[in-house]
């Protein structure tokens, strides 16, 4: 009976998704079956025209995090038996925007769902309005989360405001997956080039503190408001996040959604998922930018000092022309001429990418001013690529923008046409490589953006030295922190600099020993199988392969049957199972590593189908 109801449910769900014109019907629907364990992303059909892009943003990140997701409208959801849904879909997310108006009758449904063991995460404005669009004096979601998102009667227009976000303590920030460098000394979220960030939030207030754990606060003139909360309700968990996570992701701020999604689904709920790192091991990408001929002799010094090493592949991006600021100034790297020997010595140890277009500062200036359009950019980029590929005899597939000047609407199509697979990115600050969004839409399915990892408001060693003048010990701590984060979170982050930053500095702000020691430590972690160093090209290729894996988590009595399929092969693909719930699976061609709360199961054989039966505890 339960199964029949659920099958009807998915058919209706798919029809409604198609009916409402969502752009995102994809592989997760094809594999969805009612016995499949999955996460529900709910929406009110009346909100789709305005906020449909929010669903795209959520769904994209969930795909990249290897989560089985089903997008479902409230009508269909409400007709299903909440206790049956709690079994197959123990996590229900009510995203920002698309859940602003909900039926009042959905309150009792959620209550039953939580009593049956389901968990809900309410985001930003979910449930603050009635079905007819009026602000509710008291959202019925507040009864389960303990947090009233919006009290329009009291606050009026102040129901939505902006605020700095401060984590309760270092442990809360770590639990929420905030990487080092994204927090200041007082645990406020910061951004590259900005310092402390202001985020849109609701005028949320705690109305029932019983059992409420507040992990982060929004600081407003009216006082500290709860920004990230969780508490037990019934047999499940009820969480609230006051930031509009989907909206932020859809406008090039990936980190809040990704980090809090991982916290909620993995740390709080222990849901099985594919890992988006090769062999289940996190990795660091180091991206060197070579702007001019001031790097010529520095490159030989780096090679001599072991700052580029065999076995620690790195991404080196070169602006290849003979000029820097103006035609004829002869200050460029000149990769086809006087700089050629340096590049040839570096190339065997690195993936060589294109740092913009031919003349570093000229390109940045002309693109930023809008004087250069598509044809000028294409010409400059073509010259750069042809020169570099001529020297290194390999395709050039990694890109970085000079001075970070990267208007996405101009550049994305050009990069796709030239066959790039990845690019350095100053948006999505501090987050994992992803298919970035701008203005509410995914920019490209072919290009993986690699957000730069900041240390608060700076990112390169040169900025750390010439700006705040950070002590070498602090830079060393940050580098170590990035490694720790990527290892423990099994994720990837990109760090960037210029070679000369390690050779031209003031006073005792020499970060070279710190960088060298960091590489030593990376070699140790690599040898122990804990962390890798990789290139943008290799990680982008892996992420695309992982995104093409079809997967199911099928509940099977107390156990779980994991089914994976990919025509591109499954070697190096891995998945994580909560160790508290399942026994470590074994089988031919599988390697299982149990650490922390997870069994990480790595597929070692080159095969297109894998079925793993995992016994329950």
Are 130 and 99 within 8 A, CB to CB?
no
Query: Between residues 403 and 530, which has the closer beta carbon with respect to Zn ion?
Result: 403
Give the Cα separation of 292 and 342 in Å (integer): 12
Query: Between residues 13 and 402, which has the closer beta carbon with respect to Zn ion?
Result: 402
Please report, as ranges, the residues that interact with Zn ion according to CB under 5 A.
289, 291, 402
Q: How many helices (H) and strands (E) does the chain have?
A: 20, 30
Task: Kindly report the backbone phi and psi dihedral angles of residue 7, in degrees, each rounded to the nearest multiple of 5, phi listed first.
Answer: -65, -45
Shortest distance in whole angstroms from residue 255 CB to Zn ion: 23
- Give the angle subtended at the CA of 565 by the CAs of 562 and 568, to the nearest 5°: 145
Give the Cα separation of 282 and 276 in Å (integer): 9
Shortest distance in whole angstroms from residue 73 CB to Zn ion: 47
Are 462 and 420 within 8 A, CB to CB?
no
Rg value, the chain, Cα: 25
Give the Cα separation of 145 and 237 in Å (integer): 8
41-76 in b/e burial notation, b at 16+ Cβ within 10 A? bbbbebbbeebbbbbbbbbbbbbbbbbbbbbbbbeb
Q: How many residues does the chain have?
A: 617
Query: Between residues 236 and 402, which has the closer beta carbon with respect to Zn ion?
Result: 402
Shortest distance in whole angstroms from residue 355 CB to Zn ion: 6
CA-closest candidate to residue 284, choices 474, 496, 435, 591: 496
Question: What are the tokens at 160?
Answer: 């939505």
Are 349 and 309 within 8 A, CB to CB?
yes
Three-state SS at 217: strand
Query: Between residues 97 and 499, which has the closer beta carbon with respect to Zn ion?
Result: 499
Query: Between residues 272 and 356, which has the closer beta carbon with respect to Zn ion?
Result: 356
Question: What are the tokens at 118?
Answer: 């389901």
Shortest distance in whole angstroms from residue 360 CB to Zn ion: 6
Shortest distance in whole angstroms from residue 585 CB to Zn ion: 47
Query: Between residues 187 and 403, which has the closer beta carbon with respect to Zn ion?
Result: 403
CA-closest candidate to residue 13, choices 73, 86, 62: 73
Give the Cα separation of 262 and 65 in Å (integer): 8
Are 569 and 608 within 8 A, CB to CB?
yes
Shortest distance in whole angstroms from residue 344 CB to Zn ion: 21
Strands (DSSP E) contained in 16-82 are 39-43, 69-73
Are 412 and 448 within 8 A, CB to CB?
no
Give the Cα separation of 414 and 400 in Å (integer): 13
Shortest distance in whole angstroms from residue 413 CB to Zn ion: 22
Query: Between residues 289 and 493, which has the closer beta carbon with respect to Zn ion?
Result: 289
Shortest distance in whole angstroms from residue 450 CB to Zn ion: 15
- State the CB neighbour count (10 A cutoff) for residue 109: 20
Give the Cα separation of 381 and 502 in Å (integer): 28
Q: What DSSP state is assigned to residue 256?
A: H
Query: Between residues 96 and 398, which has the closer beta carbon with respect to Zn ion?
Result: 398
Query: Between residues 127 and 332, which has the closer beta carbon with respect to Zn ion?
Result: 332
Give the Cα separation of 387 and 379 in Å (integer): 12
Query: Between residues 353 and 402, which has the closer beta carbon with respect to Zn ion?
Result: 402
Query: Between residues 278 and 291, which has the closer beta carbon with respect to Zn ion?
Result: 291
Shortest distance in whole angstroms from residue 317 CB to Zn ion: 8
Query: Between residues 263 and 358, which has the closer beta carbon with respect to Zn ion?
Result: 358
Shortest distance in whole angstroms from residue 108 CB to Zn ion: 58
Three-state SS at 428: coil
Shortest distance in whole angstroms from residue 133 CB to Zn ion: 49
Shortest distance in whole angstroms from residue 458 CB to Zn ion: 15
Are 2 and 81 within 8 A, CB to CB?
yes
Shortest distance in whole angstroms from residue 352 CB to Zn ion: 15
Query: Between residues 270 and 402, which has the closer beta carbon with respect to Zn ion?
Result: 402
Q: What DSSP state is assigned to residue 307?
A: S
């Amino acid at each position: 009976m339960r199964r029949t109801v659920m099958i009807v449910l998915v058919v209706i769900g798919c029809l409604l998704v198609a009916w409402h014109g969502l752009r995102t019907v994809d592989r997760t629907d094809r594999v969805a079956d009612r016995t499949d364990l999955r996460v529900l992303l709910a929406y009110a059909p009346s909100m789709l025209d305005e906020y449909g892009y929010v669903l795209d943003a959520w769904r994209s990140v969930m795909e990249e995090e290897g989560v089985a997701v089903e997008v479902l409208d409230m009508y269909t959801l409400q007709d299903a038996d909440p206790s049956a849904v709690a079994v197959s879909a123990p996590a229900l997310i009510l995203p920002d925007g698309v859940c602003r108006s909900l039926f009042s009758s959905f309150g009792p449904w959620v209550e039953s769902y939580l009593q049956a063991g389901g968990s809900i995460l309410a985001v930003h404005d979910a449930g603050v309005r009635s079905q007819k669009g009026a602000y509710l004096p008291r959202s019925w979601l507040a009864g389960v989360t303990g947090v009233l998102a919006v009290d329009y009667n009291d606050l009026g227009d102040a129901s939505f405001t902006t605020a700095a976000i401060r984590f309760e303590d270092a442990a809360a920030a770590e639990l929420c997956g905030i990487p080092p460098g994204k927090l200041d000394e007082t645990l406020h979220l910061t951004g590259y080039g900005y310092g402390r960030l202001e985020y849109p939030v609701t005028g949320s207030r705690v109305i029932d503190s019983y059992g409420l754990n507040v992990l982060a606060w929004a600081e407003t003139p009216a006082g500290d408001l709860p920004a990230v909360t969780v508490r037990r309700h019934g047999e499940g968990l009820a969480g609230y996040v006051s930031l509009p996570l989907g909206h932020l992701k859809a406008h090039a701020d990936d980190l809040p959604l990704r980090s809090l999604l991982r916290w909620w689904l993995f740390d709080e709920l222990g849901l099985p998922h594919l890992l988006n790192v090769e062999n289940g091991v996190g990795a660091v990408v180091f991206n060197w930018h070579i702007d001019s001929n001031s790097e010529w002799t520095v490159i030989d010094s780096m090679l001599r000092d072991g700052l580029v090493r065999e076995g620690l592949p790195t991404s080196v991006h070169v602006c290849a022309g003979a000029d820097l600021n103006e035609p004829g100034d002869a200050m460029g790297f000149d990769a086809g001429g006087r700089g050629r020997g340096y590049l040839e010595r570096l190339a065997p140890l690195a993936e060589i990418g294109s740092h913009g277009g031919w003349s570093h500062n000229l390109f940045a200036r002309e693109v930023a001013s809008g004087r250069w359009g598509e044809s000028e950019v294409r010409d400059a980029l073509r010259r750069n690529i042809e020169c570099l590929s001529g020297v290194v005899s390999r395709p050039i597939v990694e890109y970085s923008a000079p001075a970070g000047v990267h208007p996405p609407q101009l550049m994305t199509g050009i990069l796709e046409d030239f066959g790039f697979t990845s690019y350095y990115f100053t948006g999505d600050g501090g987050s994992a490589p992803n298919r970035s969004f701008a203005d509410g839409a995914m920019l490209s399915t072919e290009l993986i953006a690699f957000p730069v990892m900041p240390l608060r408001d700076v990112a390169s060693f040169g900025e750390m030295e010439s700006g705040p003048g950070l002590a070498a010990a602090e830079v060393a701590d940050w580098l170590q922190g990035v490694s720790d984060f990527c290892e423990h979170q099994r994720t990837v982050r990109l760090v960037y600099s210029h070679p000369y930053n390690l050779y031209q500095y003031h006073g005792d702000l020499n970060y070279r020993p710190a960088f060298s020691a960091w590489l030593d430590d990376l070699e140790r972690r690599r040898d122990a199988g804990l962390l890798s160093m990789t290139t943008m090209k290799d990680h982008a290729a892996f992420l695309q392969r992982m995104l093409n894996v079809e997967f199911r988590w099928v509940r099977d009595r107390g156990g779980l049957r994991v089914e994976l399929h990919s025509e591109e092969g499954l070697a190096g693909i891995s998945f994580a199972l909560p160790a508290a719930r399942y026994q470590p699976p074994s089988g031919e061609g599988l390697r299982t590593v149990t650490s922390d709360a997870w069994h990480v199961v790595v597929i070692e054989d080159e095969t297109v189908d894998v079925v793993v039966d995992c016994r329950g505890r």
